């Protein structure tokens, strides 16, 4: 399993233990089995951003603390230089680069996301999370599926949607696709 996923699991477990919250409560919050949650804590399973967001709210911390192990510090502004935002890989499907990890109390979470081609006819995993999402395609062709609706976006195209609806992304033409994602 990816080292970043193991580190997230360690942070989840450590914070849960410090806050004296039973693992069963967090599993129930995430709507998964206790066994699956414990696999997330041990780094054997990859948590969705949706679940991490729910846990961070329950713990009373910023999502970045779980994702990157750092507390945001800046209040007036925060600059992320090209290619310098902290990265996290998701299921070998998506590579997220946080664009505002250091800004405290932000209202949105902006990411640069790369979607690599999937091997063979493998389907991307669908997920959903609280809030709304805006995605702007920068390069490549991106297939976006929201519930059962499938759309193809090209560079310059964008989509805004209720992110509680199950959704997923897939790059087309056997080439990576890159897009700006803003989670609200």
- The model's confidence at residue 143, banded by pLDDT at 50, 70 and 90, is very high
Q: Which CATH number fits domain 3-68: 1.10.510.10, 1.20.210.10, 3.40.50.1980, 1.10.260.40?
A: 1.10.260.40
pLDDT grade, residue 170 (50/70/90)? very high
pLDDT digits (tens, 9 = 90+) for 68-103: 777 667 777 778 888 887 777 665 678 888 898 888
Asked if the model's pLDDT at residue 39 lies above 90, the reply is yes
Nearest to 143 by CA among 93, 97, 87: 93
> Is the whole model's pTM more than 0.85, yes or no?
no
Which one of 3.40.50.11810, 2.60.120.10, 3.20.20.80, 1.25.60.10 gives the CATH number of domain 87-183?
2.60.120.10
Q: What is the pLDDT of residues 149-165, one digit of tens each?
A: 999 999 999 999 999 99
Give the full edge-to-edge strand order of the sheet including 149-153: 149-153, 142-146, 167-171
Is the predicted pLDDT of residue 1 greater than 60, yes or no?
no
Average pLDDT over residues 21-46: 92
Sheet-wide strand order for 109-115:
87-90, 94-98, 109-115, 177-183, 132-139, 158-162
More confident residue, 84 or 144: 144
User: How much is the pLDDT for 91?
Assistant: 59
């Amino acid at each position: 399993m990816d080292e970043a996923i193991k580190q997230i699991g360690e942070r989840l477990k450590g914070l849960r233990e410090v806050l004296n919250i039973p693992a069963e409560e967090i599993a129930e919050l995430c709507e998964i089995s206790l066994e699956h949650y414990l696999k997330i804590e041990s780094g054997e399973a990859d948590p969705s951003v949706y679940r991490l967001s729910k846990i961070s709210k329950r713990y009373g911390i910023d999502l970045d603390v779980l994702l990157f192990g750092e507390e945001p510090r800046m209040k007036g502004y925060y600059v992320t230089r090209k290619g310098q935002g902290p990265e996290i890989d998701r299921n070998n499907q998506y590579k997220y680069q946080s664009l505002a990890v250091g800004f405290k109390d932000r209202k949105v979470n902006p990411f640069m996301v790369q979607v690599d081609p999937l091997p063979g006819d493998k389907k991307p995993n669908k997920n959903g999370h609280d809030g709304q999402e805006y995605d702007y395609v920068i390069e490549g062709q991106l297939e976006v599926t929201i519930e059962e609706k499938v759309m193809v976006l090209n560079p310059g195209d964008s989509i805004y949607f209720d992110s509680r609806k199950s959704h997923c992304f897939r790059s087309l033409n056997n080439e990576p696709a890159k897009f700006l994602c803003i989670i609200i």
